[in-house]
A = this chain, B = another copy of it.
Amino acid sequence: MDRLVVIGGSDAGISAALRSLELRPDMEVTVLVSDRFPNFSICGLPFLLSGEVTDWRSLAHRTREELEATGMRLRLGCKARSVDATRRTVTVSDADGGNFDLPYDRLILATGALSVKPPVEGLDLPGVFFLRWMEDGLACLNFLKERSPRSAAVIGSGYIGLETADALTRRGIQVTLIQRSGTLRKTLDPSLSRLVDEELEKHGVRPVQGMTPKGVERSGERLVVLDERNRRVEADMVLVAVGARPNSELAAQAGADLGAAKAVRVNRRMETGLPGVYAAGDCVEAYHRILEKPVYLPLGTTAHKQGRVAGENAAGGAREFAGSLGTQVVQVFDLVAARTGLMESEASVAGWRPLTVETECPDHKAYYPGARNLQIRLTGDRETGRLLGVQLLGRRESEIAKRIDVFAACLFHGMDVEALNDLDLSYTPPLGAPWDPAQAAAQAWGSARKMRKA
């Protein structure tokens, strides 16, 4: 049981390989990397487009040399074509087009996600881009450098859409943001996403709401995005960011079951059910810690954790993935938006009786200069009092990312809203308040719940 093959050289695959080797340095670990970018931070691509990251090589979490120094064997440009789970063999095509068979004792599938291609004509036109893998990003960067576009249409206002709108604006490009529904609608309730829209407009992004593109066409040197009602958005380039879907075809071919959103079905040990075959990252389901069931929630943080669990188990361990809370954060110009846990709508569907209370309070004592208000939308179950989820919005300097992490730690432990008041959180007037905003929000929620009961 000494040969581990990992298919995929991004977050989950490399985390898995590293963890296996950490626990069992004697294992023979081979990582098949379909492109030439092992262990690159694809979450960093928007910042490459903006010019904030000046060298694409710096996006590597670790260099090839650092990876190989751990003992892993990296096979770049090698695509896994099929898996024979009975013979425990992967058929691989290499960069030169040759095929070879690679036997394994344990296999980890970490094939990641693919960009969703919406049913829109003309997405293969030059000047239309997706942004998922390094090659996508480099192609787009190349276009930006060679063609110096002055305008861009971004389709989709989730995390990648927003980061790209921010990035291209920083580059001096006029961005039109085409949204089917509201900004960050999977992350923020309307009262908060409206504030994100204001931030976008303040920085010159033009939002087009309620538009579902049906085609992209050439118009001279430019492109035109059209919808059913013939609304038109003209731009020098188009970036499509409407979501991710699991790259699970290889797993399905090998005989693995697919689950939520056709992601590879895994148990909490990241086992697929095929003998010796694990899977992790954006190609698999994630166990949701509050819903207590699998969902499809592809995130880099989850990929790292699932990879580490898969790697530990492939090395003989028995670790379980603790679950995702869907904790996310995004910076949009000077604003930071974050969430963890469930939104009210999700909680309702899952059978809770959610109550959501929005609190606005300063990030530190108002008497000390520079205090800025932040918004907290806290959702709890009005029957049991359990904390279910939190949305946060505030300025860059208001420590939003770490504030959401405090809530994430509370959700991890299934805390009641009222119990947040028991947490011994830090305080100094320039940086906080004796009742932290998290606790002020908990108290406001408690009062609102009591009023509803009365």
Contact = CB atoms under 8 A, between A and B. Distances in A.
Interface of A: 11, 22, 41, 43-44, 47, 52-53, 58-59, 159, 163, 289, 299-305, 308, 322-331, 336, 338, 340, 365-369, 397, 399, 401-406, 408-410, 412-413, 419, 421-432, 434-436, 447
A432 B304 contact: no
A52 B11 CA distance: 46
Given A329-B431, A401-B428, A44 B365 contact: yes
Contact of A422 (B402, B412, B435): B412
A168 to B, nearest CB: 16
Contacts of A406: 402, 405-406, 409
B424 A301 contact: yes
Interface of A, helix, strand, loop or mixed by DSSP? mixed
B305 A368 contact: no
B331 A431 contact: yes
B428 A11 contact: no
B44 A427 contact: no
A431 B52 contact: no
Contacts of A426: 301, 327-329, 338, 340, 401, 404-405, 408
A48 to B, nearest CB: 9
Contacts of A365: 41, 44
Contact of A410 (B11, B299, B367, B409): B409
A432 B329 contact: yes
Contacts of A53: 367-368
7 contacts: A44-B367, A47-B429, A327-B425, A331-B431, A399-B402, A402-B403, A408-B425
A394 to B, nearest CB: 11
A6 B230 CA distance: 71
Contact of A368 (B47, B327, B447): B47
